[in-house]
Structure 1
């Protein structure tokens, strides 16, 4: 079922969304000082291309002060606008019955799009390994 949803997602917006993140990543890498956001954009592009069967978690070991500061800058510069775009397209997708799972996937991307640093995208088939013992 995940594969069918991913193919439908790819055809109805996932490809364009992923290309947007790739272009943002290239721009960020060209500007050198914004390379961490460029790498995060490439990571999100892969997630935007094939979202079903994957989820976002916090990186083990904490994200650190640099990630928090970077996320604050990201929110102010681009994050809030990306979130507004995800919410708008999710509303448009949710109009049809077939689009409801796609809208949910779009909303599922909001946390990583809002604060990309310190996050990791993992397969939902992968068992969660806790760092706490």
Structure 2
């Protein structure tokens, strides 16, 4: 079932969101200072293209530096990526088949606004981390 959802996701939303995150990452690589945000953008791009079966969890070692970096991220790239998730999520929710995809898109809004201090794990890995 995950594979079917991922293929449908790839066609209707994943490719566009992947390209958005890749563009943000490439633009953030231009000034050397913003390379950590570019790496976070590339990491989320891999998640945005094939999200089902994986989950985003907070890193237990993240601290004030991640928070401050996330504030800068919202200013530099996060706000328009979050808008992209909201718009594509609303478009996906128009059909009954697209509702699960739209919900998955809405779940990506927080990570598009605050990517630092997060990591992507498989669903089984996410469950193991919470125990």
Report the TM-score, using the length of structure 1 for normalisation: 0.90
Q: For structure 1, which segment, 76-85 or 30-39, has the greater mean C-alpha deviation from structure 2 after superposition?
A: 76-85
Higher percent of residues as helix: 2
- In structure 2, the CA distance between the partners of 1:113 and 1:125, relative to structure 1 (3 Å rule), is same
Q: Secondary structure at the match of 1:90?
A: helix
Q: Which residue of 2 aligns with 1:91?
A: 90
Give the root-mean-square deviation of aligned CA atoms.
1.5
What's 1:30 paired with? 30
Unaligned regions of 5+ residues in structure 2, if any? none
**Number of equivalences:** 130
Q: Which residue of 1 aligns with 2:49?
A: 49
How far the C-alpha of 1:109 sits from its partner, in A, is 0.8
Q: Please name the residue that 1:117 is paired with.
A: 116
In the alignment, structure 1 segments of 5+ residues that lack a partner are none
Is the partner of 1:125 in helix, strand or coil?
helix
